[in-house]
Amino acid sequence: MQSKRLFCLKVKPLFIESSETRNWYAKTPVPLFCHVYFDDALIADIQHCRELLILNGLSSISKRCAGASCFFEIALRYHPDVSIDIHVTEKEVFFTGFIPPFREAYFKTSNIEIAVAIESAKQFRCIEHLKSPQADQTALIQQIKLKHKEHELLCEELIHIINLREQLDSLEASQIDFSDLSLNQYLQSLTDKIINKQRQRADLEHEVELLCKQLLWRYFKVMPGDWVYADIEPRRGPIQLLVQSVDLHDNYIFIRGPKITQMGEVGKRVESIAILISENEHHE
């Protein structure tokens, strides 16, 4: 039997910049609210979009949605010609829409957390000891480790440049001529290098984060926002948490997130699960 849940979502206008006046304005009419049926078909679409997000390193995916209806206060009815798109991010979904003759979205619903919208996201997924990795998993592990080494080298370079810049700044005016043009240009070049290295570091950390999420999915079919359960550390006992982050260090996959209480609620305490990739399963 097909199951579905009905959500009534608030709607707000999307402000659009005028190409003529360069001012921002809101188009009308804007719905009073939006009804969305989260049936099996829509939930399957959302889960597929979440998988594509992880595997392709995307921030969001959008597609046309047929299960939404918008109610307009001005007409006191649901408008049949509204075009609605669903937007799926890693942890949330929301909807945008428009009415002809407009051709682009000019209103947006409130966001819904994945775990709230999809009851199945609240069902615990079991984390077990790793089996022998497949070729794609081994390739991901190697790629993450190379990125970690690259990050270490980048951090060392950044620290060296920052220390040099601070040493020059700490010199007294009697020791150095700060009015010298070439010196000022050199100081500015150091500042530019620091900014550039910091940007590279942030980009690299983002790449590692995406690769680790892909590894989590390929091993356990789990992604951020899912509830997981593990009983692989006898001294600690069973652990259940909401997945927020994942990382790979020293041949361990670390999954972190807030603890799920016995009442089935997301707590404040952060827990972690460590899964060993044994040496006889993975070779450098």
Q: Evaluate whether 11 touches 33 at the Cβ level (below 8 Å).
A: yes
pLDDT at residue 20, rounded to an integer:
59
Other beta carbons within 10 angstroms of residue 273's beta carbon come to 23
pLDDT at residue 283, rounded to an integer:
43
pLDDT at residue 126, rounded to an integer:
87
What is the DSSP secondary structure assignment for residue 14, as one 8-state letter?
P
The rounded distance, in Å, linking the Cα atoms of 188 and 192 is 6
pLDDT at residue 284, rounded to an integer:
42
Q: Which residue, among 120, 35, 44, 109, has the nearest Cα to 78 in the 3D structure?
A: 35
Encode the chain (284 residues) as per-residue pLDDT tens digits. 445 688 999 999 887 665 555 555 567 788 889 999 888 889 889 989 998 998 888 889 999 998 888 888 766 677 778 899 999 998 899 999 998 888 888 899 999 988 788 776 678 888 887 666 677 788 889 999 999 999 999 999 999 999 998 888 777 555 666 566 677 788 889 999 999 999 999 999 999 999 999 999 988 888 888 889 998 877 888 899 999 999 998 888 999 999 998 888 888 999 999 988 754 444 44
The rounded distance, in Å, linking the Cα atoms of 173 and 251 is 51
pLDDT at residue 2, rounded to an integer:
47
The rounded distance, in Å, linking the Cα atoms of 96 and 42 is 15
